[in-house]
Amino acid sequence: MNRIGNQVADTQSAHPAIDKSPGSISLISGCMFSGKTTELLKQVARFPQESVRLFKHVCDTRYAPDAVVTHNGIAFPAIAVHSASTIVNHITSGVRVVGIDEGHFFDGQLLNIAQGIAQTGVDVIVTALDRDSWGRPLPISSKLEAASDNSETRTTACSQCADTATRTQRLTPIINGNMIGGEESYEPRCKRCWKAPPEAPLQTDSTIRS
Protein backbone atom coordinates (compact mmCIF):
# COMPACT_ATOMS: atom_id res chain seq x y z
CA MET A 1 0.00 0.00 0.00
CA ASN A 2 1.36 3.46 -0.84
CA ARG A 3 1.59 6.38 1.57
CA ILE A 4 -1.82 7.82 0.67
CA GLY A 5 -3.38 4.40 0.97
CA ASN A 6 -1.90 3.98 4.47
CA GLN A 7 -3.27 7.34 5.51
CA VAL A 8 -6.75 6.39 4.33
CA ALA A 9 -6.56 3.08 6.16
CA ASP A 10 -5.41 4.77 9.39
CA THR A 11 -8.19 7.35 9.18
CA GLN A 12 -10.82 4.66 8.66
CA SER A 13 -9.63 2.54 11.57
CA ALA A 14 -9.82 5.60 13.85
CA HIS A 15 -13.45 6.17 12.81
CA PRO A 16 -15.33 2.88 12.71
CA ALA A 17 -18.50 4.69 11.60
CA ILE A 18 -16.96 5.30 8.17
CA ASP A 19 -15.20 1.96 8.03
CA LYS A 20 -17.37 0.75 5.15
CA SER A 21 -18.08 2.62 1.97
CA PRO A 22 -21.75 2.48 0.94
CA GLY A 23 -22.93 -0.35 -1.25
CA SER A 24 -24.59 0.30 -4.58
CA ILE A 25 -28.26 0.12 -5.53
CA SER A 26 -28.97 -1.46 -8.91
CA LEU A 27 -32.33 -1.71 -10.64
CA ILE A 28 -33.16 -4.26 -13.32
CA SER A 29 -36.52 -3.24 -14.79
CA GLY A 30 -38.63 -3.95 -17.85
CA CYS A 31 -41.77 -5.79 -18.94
CA MET A 32 -42.61 -9.36 -17.98
CA PHE A 33 -40.52 -12.08 -19.65
CA SER A 34 -37.68 -9.64 -20.39
CA GLY A 35 -35.18 -11.67 -18.34
CA LYS A 36 -35.04 -9.49 -15.22
CA THR A 37 -34.79 -12.39 -12.76
CA THR A 38 -32.35 -14.24 -15.00
CA GLU A 39 -30.09 -11.17 -14.94
CA LEU A 40 -30.45 -10.90 -11.15
CA LEU A 41 -29.37 -14.53 -10.69
CA LYS A 42 -26.48 -13.99 -13.11
CA GLN A 43 -25.25 -11.01 -11.10
CA VAL A 44 -25.46 -12.71 -7.69
CA ALA A 45 -23.77 -15.83 -9.07
CA ARG A 46 -20.50 -13.87 -9.06
CA PHE A 47 -20.47 -14.00 -5.26
CA PRO A 48 -20.15 -16.94 -2.85
CA GLN A 49 -23.66 -18.20 -2.11
CA GLU A 50 -23.25 -17.63 1.65
CA SER A 51 -22.65 -13.90 1.04
CA VAL A 52 -25.91 -13.51 -0.93
CA ARG A 53 -29.45 -13.10 0.43
CA LEU A 54 -32.33 -13.17 -2.01
CA PHE A 55 -35.79 -11.97 -1.08
CA LYS A 56 -39.22 -12.25 -2.62
CA HIS A 57 -42.67 -11.14 -1.46
CA VAL A 58 -44.89 -13.81 0.09
CA CYS A 59 -47.65 -12.87 -2.35
CA ASP A 60 -45.47 -14.14 -5.20
CA THR A 61 -46.49 -17.77 -5.04
CA ARG A 62 -45.53 -18.64 -8.58
CA TYR A 63 -43.08 -21.52 -9.10
CA ALA A 64 -41.74 -22.02 -5.52
CA PRO A 65 -42.36 -20.56 -2.03
CA ASP A 66 -38.71 -20.58 -0.94
CA ALA A 67 -36.80 -19.75 -4.11
CA VAL A 68 -36.51 -17.14 -6.80
CA VAL A 69 -37.21 -18.98 -10.05
CA THR A 70 -36.88 -17.66 -13.59
CA HIS A 71 -39.55 -18.33 -16.20
CA ASN A 72 -37.03 -20.81 -17.63
CA GLY A 73 -36.84 -22.75 -14.37
CA ILE A 74 -33.46 -21.58 -12.97
CA ALA A 75 -33.72 -21.29 -9.16
CA PHE A 76 -31.86 -19.76 -6.22
CA PRO A 77 -32.90 -20.07 -2.52
CA ALA A 78 -34.86 -17.04 -1.33
CA ILE A 79 -36.56 -15.77 1.81
CA ALA A 80 -40.23 -14.83 1.39
CA VAL A 81 -41.18 -11.75 3.44
CA HIS A 82 -44.43 -9.91 4.12
CA SER A 83 -43.03 -6.39 3.96
CA ALA A 84 -39.95 -4.44 2.91
CA SER A 85 -39.07 -3.60 6.52
CA THR A 86 -38.68 -7.26 7.51
CA ILE A 87 -35.89 -7.77 4.96
CA VAL A 88 -33.32 -6.25 7.33
CA ASN A 89 -34.12 -8.90 9.97
CA HIS A 90 -32.52 -11.51 7.73
CA ILE A 91 -29.29 -9.73 6.89
CA THR A 92 -26.43 -11.05 8.99
CA SER A 93 -22.74 -10.18 9.02
CA GLY A 94 -21.00 -11.69 6.03
CA VAL A 95 -23.80 -10.76 3.64
CA ARG A 96 -22.38 -8.68 0.78
CA VAL A 97 -25.20 -8.70 -1.71
CA VAL A 98 -28.97 -8.49 -1.27
CA GLY A 99 -31.25 -9.32 -4.19
CA ILE A 100 -34.93 -8.39 -4.13
CA ASP A 101 -37.03 -10.01 -6.85
CA GLU A 102 -40.22 -8.42 -8.20
CA GLY A 103 -39.82 -5.20 -6.21
CA HIS A 104 -43.22 -3.98 -7.44
CA PHE A 105 -44.90 -6.48 -5.08
CA PHE A 106 -43.47 -4.59 -2.09
CA ASP A 107 -44.82 -1.63 -0.15
CA GLY A 108 -43.63 1.95 -0.45
CA GLN A 109 -40.91 1.44 2.16
CA LEU A 110 -38.81 -0.58 -0.28
CA LEU A 111 -36.66 2.35 -1.41
CA ASN A 112 -35.89 3.46 2.16
CA ILE A 113 -35.03 -0.09 3.12
CA ALA A 114 -32.76 -0.55 0.08
CA GLN A 115 -30.97 2.71 0.85
CA GLY A 116 -30.53 1.72 4.50
CA ILE A 117 -29.04 -1.65 3.53
CA ALA A 118 -26.68 -0.01 1.03
CA GLN A 119 -25.50 2.38 3.75
CA THR A 120 -24.11 -0.61 5.63
CA GLY A 121 -21.84 -1.46 2.69
CA VAL A 122 -24.05 -4.13 1.14
CA ASP A 123 -24.86 -4.01 -2.58
CA VAL A 124 -28.60 -4.15 -3.32
CA ILE A 125 -30.02 -5.40 -6.63
CA VAL A 126 -33.76 -5.06 -7.26
CA THR A 127 -35.84 -6.34 -10.16
CA ALA A 128 -39.15 -4.65 -10.91
CA LEU A 129 -41.70 -4.12 -13.65
CA ASP A 130 -41.32 -0.59 -15.00
CA ARG A 131 -45.02 -0.29 -16.01
CA ASP A 132 -48.32 -1.72 -14.83
CA SER A 133 -50.79 -3.55 -17.08
CA TRP A 134 -52.25 -0.19 -18.18
CA GLY A 135 -48.86 1.01 -19.41
CA ARG A 136 -48.42 3.48 -16.57
CA PRO A 137 -44.98 3.89 -14.96
CA LEU A 138 -45.00 2.18 -11.56
CA PRO A 139 -44.20 4.74 -8.82
CA ILE A 140 -42.12 2.28 -6.82
CA SER A 141 -39.96 1.49 -9.86
CA SER A 142 -39.58 5.15 -10.85
CA LYS A 143 -38.36 6.01 -7.34
CA LEU A 144 -35.92 3.11 -7.34
CA GLU A 145 -34.55 4.14 -10.74
CA ALA A 146 -34.03 7.74 -9.60
CA ALA A 147 -32.14 6.57 -6.52
CA SER A 148 -30.15 3.77 -8.15
CA ASP A 149 -26.46 3.83 -9.00
CA ASN A 150 -27.04 1.49 -11.94
CA SER A 151 -30.24 0.82 -13.82
CA GLU A 152 -31.08 -1.30 -16.82
CA THR A 153 -34.41 -1.44 -18.61
CA ARG A 154 -34.71 -4.75 -20.38
CA THR A 155 -36.86 -5.57 -23.40
CA THR A 156 -37.74 -8.74 -25.25
CA ALA A 157 -39.45 -9.73 -28.49
CA CYS A 158 -43.13 -8.90 -28.97
CA SER A 159 -45.19 -12.09 -28.90
CA GLN A 160 -47.24 -10.85 -31.88
CA CYS A 161 -44.78 -9.25 -34.30
CA ALA A 162 -41.27 -9.83 -32.83
CA ASP A 163 -40.61 -6.10 -32.61
CA THR A 164 -39.21 -4.74 -29.34
CA ALA A 165 -41.62 -5.45 -26.48
CA THR A 166 -41.77 -2.80 -23.77
CA ARG A 167 -45.26 -3.58 -22.45
CA THR A 168 -46.93 -6.45 -20.64
CA GLN A 169 -50.22 -7.64 -22.14
CA ARG A 170 -52.86 -8.96 -19.75
CA LEU A 171 -54.53 -11.97 -21.42
CA THR A 172 -57.10 -13.05 -18.85
CA PRO A 173 -59.85 -11.23 -16.92
CA ILE A 174 -58.73 -9.49 -13.71
CA ILE A 175 -60.65 -11.04 -10.81
CA ASN A 176 -60.91 -9.12 -7.54
CA GLY A 177 -57.97 -6.95 -8.54
CA ASN A 178 -55.48 -9.83 -8.36
CA MET A 179 -52.75 -9.05 -10.86
CA ILE A 180 -50.37 -11.92 -10.07
CA GLY A 181 -49.89 -14.41 -12.86
CA GLY A 182 -47.50 -16.10 -15.25
CA GLU A 183 -47.57 -17.15 -18.90
CA GLU A 184 -51.26 -18.04 -18.67
CA SER A 185 -52.11 -14.40 -17.89
CA TYR A 186 -49.45 -12.28 -19.57
CA GLU A 187 -47.27 -11.93 -22.63
CA PRO A 188 -44.77 -9.29 -23.78
CA ARG A 189 -45.86 -6.94 -26.54
CA CYS A 190 -44.64 -3.87 -28.39
CA LYS A 191 -46.54 -0.62 -28.01
CA ARG A 192 -48.45 -1.13 -31.29
CA CYS A 193 -49.67 -4.66 -30.47
CA TRP A 194 -50.43 -3.92 -26.81
CA LYS A 195 -53.96 -3.09 -25.60
CA ALA A 196 -54.81 -1.88 -22.10
CA PRO A 197 -57.32 -3.93 -20.13
CA PRO A 198 -60.52 -2.12 -19.13
CA GLU A 199 -61.06 -0.32 -15.86
CA ALA A 200 -57.69 1.00 -14.74
CA PRO A 201 -57.59 1.20 -10.93
CA LEU A 202 -56.14 4.19 -9.13
CA GLN A 203 -52.40 3.75 -8.87
CA THR A 204 -50.64 3.17 -5.56
CA ASP A 205 -47.24 1.73 -4.67
CA SER A 206 -48.99 -1.62 -4.31
CA THR A 207 -51.27 -1.45 -7.38
CA ILE A 208 -49.67 -4.53 -8.83
CA ARG A 209 -50.83 -6.93 -6.12
CA SER A 210 -53.89 -5.11 -4.67
For the residues of 47-64, what is the DSSP string, one character each?
S-GGGEEEEEETT--SS-
CB 62, min distance to Zn ion, A: 25
- Eight-class DSSP state of 199: S
Given 47, 109, 163, 174, the residue binding Zn ion (CB under 5 A): 163
Beta pairing, strands 52-57 & 79-81: parallel
Does 158 engage in binding with Zn ion (CB under 5 A)? yes
Stretch that binds Zn ion, among 28-36, 51-59, 153-161, 195-203 (CB under 5 A): 153-161
Stretch that binds Zn ion, among 2-10, 101-109, 186-194, 200-208 (CB under 5 A): 186-194
Q: Is 183 exposed, middle or buried (0-12, 13-18, 19+ CB in 10 A)?
A: exposed
Q: Which helix (H) or strand (E) holds 156?
A: strand 156-157
Given 67, 75, 193, 196, the residue binding Zn ion (CB under 5 A): 193
Q: Judge whether 102 counts as a catalytic residue.
A: yes
Does 88 engage in binding with Zn ion (CB under 5 A)? no
Residues that bind Zn ion in the complex, under the rule CB under 5 A: 158, 160-161, 163, 190, 193
